[in-house]
Chain A
Amino acid sequence: MTDNLIIKGIEFKSRLWVGTGKYKDFQETKLAIEASGADVVTVAVRRTNIFDNKSDNLLDYIDPQKYKILPNTAGCFTVEDALRYSRIARETGISDLIKLEVIGDEKTLFPDVCATLQATEILAKEGFIVLPYINDDPIMAKRLVDAGAAAVMPLAAPIGSGLGIRNPYNIKIILEQATVPVIVDAGVGTASDVAVAMELGCDAVLLNTAIAGAKDPIAMATAMNHAVKAGRLAFTAGRIDRKLYATASSPIEGML
């Protein structure tokens, strides 16, 4: 029996999604992504380096035939910019997926929820598979689903902070209500954070800095690969209840 994540008919082979930013070079990016086992990789939309056409292209290292490319709208602070970046991203012909980020504040990089909601509605109507980045806010998660989001991507903690899941209870409420997949996005620091997200029942985890910023990104990518599988398996296995007092594992009967 397969336990693969499916969004809008697209089947995902891994529940770990990874970004491609902040790596030393494209070779390291490639090796880390291979080690992570991810089949979704996020990318940003930026001006081509037209005056140096000998410079490498990311997609020479991350084959769009092999990986699902998930463009983001990182750096967009308005609905208009997010729409512009999304439409340009789709015009490359590589992907209808969009990781929608409409940032509200430079210091926290928290989302502008009103703008995110507006942009989600417009892009979903245009046929995009919209995956919005949001706070760990159960009400906004519901509103985004009503607006046409194909999944919701609540943050664990601020982008790049490595703080891990700050509010597991809100994530749990989002999960209880969710009628679409829930993907924890941003703020993960290490493998145990990924395992916690998966054990809560999240459908996937998206991370970038936790791997790219590690001292040994390839080793951390491997750790994340294991963590996402271990966490998912623990979730489906069904953990024991938490109890305040001890319950002996060895029998009393037969003691001397």
Chain B
Amino acid sequence: MKSDAPPNVDLLSVTGLTASFHVKGRIIPVLHDVSFSLKAGETLALVGESGSGKSVTAQSIMRLMRDCSIGGRVELNGKDLLSLSRRDMARVRGREIAMIFQDPRMSLNPTLSIGVQISEVLQRHRGLSAAQARAEALRLLDAVRISGPSRRYDEHPHQLSGGMCQRVMIASAIAGEPRLLIADEATTALDVTVQAEILTLLRELQNETGMAMLVVTHDMGVVAEIANGAAVMRQGRIVEFADTQTLLTRPADPYTQDLLASVPKLGSMAGQAAPRYFPVAGKVPAATDCVVAGQDTILSVRDLNVRYRSRSSFLGISKGSNHAVRGVTFDLRSGETLALVGESGSGKSTIGRAILGLSPVTSGQVILAGQEMTSLRGEPLRQARRAAQMVFQDPAASLSPRQRIRDAISEPLRAWGETGDINAVVHDLLVQVGLEPEMADRLPHEFSGGQRQRICIARAMALRPSLIVADEAVSALDVSVKARICNLLLDIQRQTGVACLFISHDMAVVERLSDRVAVMRNGAILEIGSRRDVFESPQHAYTRALLAAVPNPVPRTSQASISRQ
């Protein structure tokens, strides 16, 4: 469907949009005077960190928020959406504006077949009969590149992968032939190669249908990949509104500049051997070659195999097994960072857990600080495990909500029966991770995500381990926070010479932080080598695909030509 509006007139125009949440009788403003516009067939990105109001803006346009009052004007082809009745608004949703969300598995109704979830839109908005809708839904499934549509039609969401679910969501979104598609962090939860496929699909569908897109994202790389223009949001305001080219090359606002500086760019380390700090306030990127890897081997993993058996909850009858780690071998020396990179299900996290004795090992050896771990149980395992500590992905979940951070940080010391001035140790650890020692008596919920991760790092360092396993430790953090936590890890490594096993799916962060890299897929290491070798001359086709799929925050040369059409 080609849009009937003339191309140089705004399709969507948002003027002075405000929004406030009503929480327990209090009114909390979240959007202040947000204005932007979008022409037919174009793609605009709303970009910002968590809490910037980008999702609220998108959902306010659709009027999906509850307990929230919205002001200002939202015009679609000159029609003010905010003044429509609920009934009329329901005719706009799905028909003129469609929306897809972050978590595709949760966004589909688990009890309805995927076919029904597409054809219900066709029946509602295009007045098709059930039989016509089925035929059209099959065509749409084909259009979003789902193979064997007629076989898939009656399947339920839980039978599909995350990427497939997002394709189904897209099919149901374009079913109403909308003029505008809003994608709210629609690729954030997906693996990087799947994200690349979905972004390509969205671009192709846009070319076929001429719909405009409003893309909400935290990822400057996605902005560069898909958007003609972008609005950078911070604390409920738009701080900069520019075309993508200008934004990425000559950002005007200091916040945008800082944000872009914090974003790790793949390839920016070319020619460098050692890890480097991120260029954030107070850290100069040059002259910060970090740690020189020591000579003693801290960790040796030999031919490690982990096989999970899924069992019924009752009587533990085996229901099949899953080979999570296959024949993995590597060494790690003191002061060194080895990155395990791979997509979900590659087995990288399982290795980290197996090293610490948290996952049962099927065969192979793990030698930590000279001690073979896999044969140990109970107290000897606890003793041997002391040499290694772990930092998890979600700092909120890895701190007990009931424990003051003094107690959380000192727990390992107390668990080992350490005597002496524990308060002094906590004080020093807090200083080391860049927190105020006066904060020691607060509870975790009083801290931000980045601060919580600092607390977790302090706890991990309490026992002066020789190995830190960082399992996606910076993945859940906002870019600017992510850069600072990475710098903290480098700092600590330089001060203490601790070795780091850095488990991550984020190629750009890995490029910054690691001395050596192991690329994993389906439980096996495909290639392992120095960071430079892996990033600059990848040997394996999968490594190359992985690197190519990373959306990089540099302008696409083709982008300008598309927008001028």
| Co-assembled chains A and B | no
Chain B contact residues, CB within 8 Å of chain A: none
Chain A contact residues, CB within 8 Å of chain B: none
